[in-house]
Structure 1
Amino acid sequence: MKRLWAAVLALVGGSCVLAGCVTHDYVGSSFAPSSHVEVFYDASDVPAEYRVIGHDRAEATEYMTSEQIVQDIIKKAQSVGADAVLLGGVELVAVGATTNTSGEDLTKVKYYATQDGKLHTRHKQTGKWTQSSHTADVRDKVVTAEFLRKQ
């Protein structure tokens, strides 16, 4: 059962990766789209002629790589006219949990035939029950960035 659950999660996660499931929460100014965006990882590397035009919070499934999310951030930055992005942190945030529970009644079923040839069932009540449960956290990967534009 655990293998089935893992396969389902992998399939769903894989399809989101292929579909590009990145959501952006962008707050800031927009300009004509830009064709090239520089990427900075440290504020001390940003030249003085850049100014902040907005902040982006990109969220995707934890199965997407940070590089895939950064590529999507670059596309978003181009769409709002940014010339550069200053990447912030990467974090995993819990967005929920899924629980799968399965059980089995251990009642024994016996079959018997009557003299007229009809088949009947006889349930032997044992009062036993077996159950297993699996809970998995659902997490998203969040990458923050500042969008920059030359003055």
Structure 2
Amino acid sequence: MAKEEEKLRILAKTDETKGEQLVFTAEGKASSQPEIKDFNIPSIENPELKFDLYYKGIQRLLIANLPKGKEHKKSRNYIYEEKNTFLTRGKRINEKGIRGGDGRMGYIIDAEEMLQIVMDWIMQNGSMVELYNTLRDLNVQRGHGTSRL
């Protein structure tokens, strides 16, 4: 009976704290804190911004600054693999050629970071090796491993 009364007391207290949520301290005492809206929640996704970041930013800069021609296709693919692995948060192309994710639809924060990496590379007049190493090291650091290519 005492347990049931305790449950009812907790539930009643929850109703009193509109705009806040009930939490329990490490000592087992009930307290309230601001609703989830006050927590650090990522911004709402924005399809137009994703499009602009990916196509008008990252891709446009890479196409303009990576070497052109058939003889450089393989080296461009190495860069694109690392870029897309980063943008899909670790989804690498498998042995069947399937990634299982689309870098264009990834998180805005990741696309903004990738755009900054590419812009820094261009501004520093970096080499393909430098760009590849930067992207590969970032992927390894985040637990995405290395490419099968």
Structure 1 and Structure 2 fold alike (TM over 0.5): no
Higher helix share: 2
Question: What's the TM-score bracket when you normalise by the shorter of the two chains?
Answer: under 0.3
Normalised to the residue count of structure 1, the TM-score between the two structures is: 0.23
User: Which protein shows a greater Rg?
Assistant: 1
